[in-house]
A and B are shown apart, each in its own frame.
Chain A
């Protein structure tokens, strides 16, 4: 009996593997190209295999390319890059698997000519945003069209502030304007903390400065001639640190904010931070929070090379031309075919999501539970249908056109002309500077420490570590770049 069970099991295994092998062999016979695509994600969704199969069936028919899609976390992507492993397409950007570093070390395929001859449609769609992918005039990766600038906002419990307290939540405010809201809540609930701040800091807190080295050396957007400065020279930032510290001492921020993770917070904290774009409704679903949420923008949108590089896809330098072309074709399909893009974004229609009347997408419970991925990590966000949070809260299906027009209209653009700092000469100072800053950053960002006491101490340590040597190097490279691009 036992033997029987084992043999039946083995037959199944064999059958399954041959069947799987069959489709691969069939693909090879038909000249279908298989690509290894490494995307970013912190967890692998349950239904990923099903969805890849559906996507592969679609792309096989359309362009004769299929993918082996892997969702990998930060460490694995770094490892794949550092060990020189083979892949065809990989997630790269400014904040993970640095695009500029990879491009300057020639780790990515130079697609400058190929993209214009092979996929002119893709070339047109990305348009002006190719600029952020250019290094010395050459292009090494495809920028993902998504929110290209960062807009920072407060997310407020409008049931409480507008309904109960009769306050109004404006669409725009300044960073400091939130104070009366915090004060009102603290008065009603003296044992609670109204502002959601944890160890992870505040999302987008430093985005009003262009980051050059982590968050230590920055270039202010607003200055006329771009100048690299250490953060303590930004009076605006110092003011915000002081404000946070004031809020901390008044009990608006959790006393252990610098030690707790975000899940250690009370869910009904009434004021939270967010980074998104105008018209984004993902924060507003009352089913998520138990109350209605209204957002109020306090900063942005700021656009620079770094923000535009928020998500990209790089093609391996070790690819042969056939695979590079296939990769570009695949990326083009992601950018042009909405039906195809929706499969990878939301899953299978009818099972994971449904289209609403106005053309937006509503996930089913299966979709919510079994297939949630970061849209930006899988190619064009703009080409995917817009998601509505419920049948009552319909999103604007055409929001992206407005967002992109908005960038042209009121976007605050960096004046550095896409400057990239070549870190190789000062890498040891950068490592030391990052380590020193991380000894202070959490406490500053959470308001735990008094900036007027801590910053002078930090400043001295950074100077001893050679930060001015670093800044001089950055400034000379910056001046050179500005002179050459004028």
Chain B
């Protein structure tokens, strides 16, 4: 009697397991095709890529191109501004990393307290919408506000008798402008992720807490935030992984590549684009992205170790 149910259970669970594994097939195939298969491209970074027309890419890469070691990386460090470029990249990314947690979490908590459906939907949509607008369009809208002779802000300044500002020649304002725009565009999207996690929290917890006389702040502090911990740390660790990568659209399209703003807008991606714009050198560009990925990967692993030391469940691996 004992054995029978056990047996049927394993059978059905095995069957279920098989079905579940089958469901992962598309994902596995997708990763294999688009993430693992192109990995051979790393070799571009260490080769002087000289293709022979009419021959296959693989033969051109492995047979026809000579090894050059780390020579493809040297142009990155040739630029005397490289320090300020790396500083910019890190600065913006750290700000986005912190603000990208604090602001969306706050918004998600506030929004989950709103129970009027129409209004909630409206606010949510307004916040998410910017995520879908291309940076090029954002760039032109910003120009509409900041244009020197016909822009909205300068017309206002003029109206009140203040001097006009040449926005695209004044780097001092742009750190703030870029940070505000970056957060404006991404926070709605991240907020939705946090809102999903909040919805998943057992409602009865809140009910019993309210019955026990917990205030709003106490409910957030002792119920919501602890439940969000895993999601926050996951997004944080993933964000660390792309610490040397920056949103090219934000730093190149939005400032309209204005020369005077370079000191605050030039990030690693922008520099790579500019140095290779004139001659398409695939070896150089793969060297740059290889560098970004390696630094990102190392930082990701380190931060994962730190997180798992603090709280094992929140770590990724």
Contact = CB atoms under 8 A, between A and B. Distances in A.
Interface of A: 75, 78-79, 81-87, 98, 101, 105-107, 191, 199, 214, 254-256, 258-260, 316-319, 427-432, 434-436, 438-444, 448-449, 460-461, 464-466
Contacts of A430: 279
Contact of A199 (B51, B56, B256, B275): B256
Contacts of A260: 143, 256
B181 to A, nearest CB: 16
Contacts of B53: 81, 84-87, 107, 316-318
Nearest to B168: A259
B131 interface: no
A254 B143 CA distance: 14
Contact of A259 (B49, B60, B258): B258
Given A435-B274, A448-B260, A466-B78, 16 more contacts: A85-B53, A107-B52, A199-B256, A256-B147, A258-B260, A259-B257, A428-B78, A429-B75, A431-B275, A434-B274, A434-B275, A435-B271, A438-B277, A460-B80, A465-B78, A465-B80
A255 B149 contact: yes
B278 interface: yes
Q: Give the one of A78, A79, A434 with max B CB within 10 A.
A: A434
Contact of A465 (B57, B79, B262, B280): B79
B282 A82 contact: yes
A268 B38 CA distance: 51
B166 interface: yes
Contacts of A439: 259, 262, 266, 274
Contact of A83 (B57, B75, B284): B57
B50 interface: yes
A435 B79 contact: yes
B220 to A, nearest CB: 44
A436 B260 CA distance: 13
B54 interface: yes
B194 to A, nearest CB: 36
| B: interface residue count bin | 35 or more
A106 B52 CA distance: 8
A435 B275 contact: yes
A441 B284 CA distance: 23
A78 B276 contact: no
A440 B259 CA distance: 6
B148 interface: yes
Contacts of B80: 460-461, 464-465
Given A436-B79, A461-B80, A465-B79, A86 B54 contact: yes
B230 interface: no
Nearest to B52: A84
B49 A429 contact: no
A428 B277 CA distance: 13
Q: Give the one of A75, A101, A258 with max B CB within 10 A.
A: A258
Given A84-B54, A256-B148, A464-B80, A441 B259 contact: yes
A98 to B, nearest CB: 7
A84 B278 contact: no
B126 interface: no
Contacts of B271: 435
Nearest to A423: B279
6 contacts: A81-B53, A259-B255, A427-B281, A448-B259, A449-B259, A449-B260
A84 B71 CA distance: 23
B135 to A, nearest CB: 15
Contacts of A435: 79, 271, 274-275
Contact of A431 (B50, B52, B60, B78): B78
A72 to B, nearest CB: 14
A190 to B, nearest CB: 12
B52 A318 contact: yes
Q: What are the 7 closest A-B residue pairs judged by CB atoms, nearest first?
A: A318-B54, A84-B51, A432-B78, A428-B75, A259-B256, A464-B80, A443-B259
Contacts of A82: 49, 51, 280, 282
B98 to A, nearest CB: 29
A78 to B, nearest CB: 4
Contacts of A464: 80
Contacts of B168: 256, 258-259
B218 interface: no
A448 B169 contact: yes
A469 B277 CA distance: 22
Interface in B269-317: 271, 274-282, 284
Contacts of A75: 280
A105 B258 contact: no
B231 interface: no
A432 B57 contact: no
Interface string B245-266: 0000000000111111010001
A81 B60 CA distance: 12
Interface string B140-182: 0001000111000000000000000010110000000000000
A432 B51 contact: no
Contacts of A259: 143, 168, 255-258
Contacts of A429: 75, 78
A438 B274 contact: yes
B81 interface: yes
A233 B279 CA distance: 25
Interface string B27-64: 00000000000000000000001111111110010000
Interface in B96-154: 143, 147-149
Contacts of A432: 75, 78-79, 275
A427 B276 CA distance: 11
B75 A427 contact: yes
Nearest to B71: A428
Contacts of A83: 51, 57, 60
Given A255-B148, A440-B259, A461-B81, A431 B284 contact: yes
A317 B53 CA distance: 6
Given A258-B258, A316-B53, A440-B259, A84 B275 contact: no
